[in-house]
């Protein structure tokens, strides 16, 4: 995802603390897929082999025919997150 939160401000004696910030892109689309048929469905639609993703948090990035970039993240055998930018 395209945001970088700063969790805690750095405080120094005699100076103002650094500001916490978060930058977000508003054109992200995030879809969560879950269910028994999720892997075969995404394999067919994307033309990829998602069976290579074995550990939670792993992902695959690519580009759609329309030009948008996407990432698919593996959570479990039946749960994926699809992010389009």
Looking at residue 42, which CATH number applies to its domain?
Answer: 3.30.70.1400
- Does residue 40 carry a pLDDT above 90? yes
19: in domain: no
The number of folded domains in the chain is: 1
Cβ-based neighbour number of residue 50 at 10 Å: 18
62: in domain: yes
Average pLDDT estimate for 29-51: 91
- Domain hosting 47: range is 29-84
Q: Return the minimum-mean-pLDDT range out of 3-7, 20-24, 68-72, 79-83.
A: 3-7
Region class of 47: left (phi > 0), else alpha (psi between -120 and 50), else beta: left
Q: Give the sign of the dihedral formed by CA 47, CA 50, CA 70, CA 60.
A: negative
pLDDT in tens, 10-27: 445 555 555 545 556 678
Continuous segment of H or E residues that includes residue 34: strand 29-34
Q: What is the pLDDT of residue 9?
A: 43
48: in domain: yes
Note if the pTM is more than 0.75. no
17: in domain: no
47: in domain: yes
69: in domain: yes
């Amino acid at each position: 995802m395209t945001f970088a939160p700063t969790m805690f401000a750095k405080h120094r004696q005699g100076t103002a603390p650094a500001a916490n910030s978060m930058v977000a892109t508003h054109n992200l689309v995030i879809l969560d897929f879950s269910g028994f048929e999720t892997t075969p469905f995404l394999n067919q639609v994307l033309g990829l082999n998602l069976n290579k993703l074995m550990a939670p948090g792993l992902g695959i990035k690519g580009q759609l025919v329309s030009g948008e970039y996407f990432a698919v993240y593996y959570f479990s055998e039946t749960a994926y997150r699809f992010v389009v930018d």
